[in-house]
Chains A and B, each alone.
Chain A
Amino acid sequence: MIRNDVFQTLKPIIREHLVVCNIGAPSQELHAMDDQPSNFYMLGTMGLASSIGLGLAAAQDKPVIAIDGDGSVLTNMGTLATIGNNAQGNFTLLIIDNGSYGSTGDQPTYAGMKTDLAAVARACGAENVQTVSAQDTAAAVKAAIASDEMTIIVSKCESGNVKVPVIKTNPIVIRERFMEEVRR
């Protein structure tokens, strides 16, 4: 299964929730598959989906799912220490770990080599970290949302993208409709 296949299984589970989605292919695939006002798409700035998700979770009580990638977490690895030391029970960080920089041509990341992001997250103080197969990801995310514990899920899937258009929605529209969902 590639990222887009994992998204298909996640669709019914996350569509009612606040989702902060990683830049590039992940946001484009989610947008093409099931655009929701409760999705915040990163149109720029690599690596900050987990940080935005944590800030959002700290600011309000609704469940927040940040969908990040292994390459993006590697570029902002300090985020795991901030998350580990500021656990928010309503926060789920899903790291789609396909061992590659999917949006830029599937170049390999270190997470696909020797680096174990789940181990890094644990070492950073996160208490509930799971490594799951692509097939088991949806069930793990569902359980994480239902639990009161902050959860980091590293979903091991295959490298690859589907061809979808770029997101043309105005960024202010994305933010405004997202904030409306937060307030709802």
Chain B
Amino acid sequence: MATEMDHQIVRDLKAAGIDYVTSVPCKQLAGVLEVLDDEASILHMPSNKEDEGMGLCAGAYMGGMRPCIVMQNTALGVVVNTLATLIQFYQIPLPMLISYRGEVGEPVACQVEMALHTKAILNQLHIPTYHFHKPEDAAELPGILEYAQMASKPVAILCDASFWRASA
């Protein structure tokens, strides 16, 4: 069941001109994905793996669309090469809406392992990173989306369990 926050996030994507979204699901992103599927002005084309999804986004961008990828932080372990050699090398603006599993409130111990590497990987790749911990942090989203386009860079928006719980 989508929350008001899920709707707000999709409204912000739409307002920023995002018209193509690919995703690999996460429990924390279920509401956003539900809203996306009902949003006629955004083409939602799910992918099977996040590097594949970034390929789709690169193509959509070169075709004149404005893409965004919705994914889980564990996938940063999958996409390092694609971020460096496709998205960054060819300077493709790509907001990444990322569920930040493994933070406080996480029920699954294994998720903590990639949470420990999440910001380190993003830092290593010099990717502008924003961390939504409280519902009011989401007010920054429109600015972040505009920034990604301006800079022609991938940008990470990490949304942790506290953010999703307090937004419910």
Contact = CB atoms under 8 A, between A and B. Distances in A.
Nearest to A56: B59
Interface in A43-87: 43-45, 47-60, 76, 78-79, 81-82, 86
B47 interface: yes
B85 interface: yes
Contact of B85 (A44, A52, A59, A175): A44
A171 B58 CA distance: 13
Interface string B50-75: 01111111111111110100000000
A40 B92 CA distance: 14
A62 to B, nearest CB: 9
A174 interface: yes
A48 B59 CA distance: 10
Interface residues of B, number: 32
Contacts of B60: 55-56, 58-59
A19 B62 CA distance: 12
Q: Count chain A CB atoms within 10 A of each CB in B51, B52, B81 and give the residue with the most.
A: B52
B124 interface: no
B8 interface: no
B63 A48 contact: no
B64 A51 contact: no
Given A58-B20, A171-B90, A51 B56 contact: yes
A55 B51 contact: no
Contact of A45 (B43, B53, B61, B85): B85
Interface of A: 20, 40, 42-45, 47-60, 76, 78-79, 81-82, 86, 171-172, 174-175, 178-179, 182-183
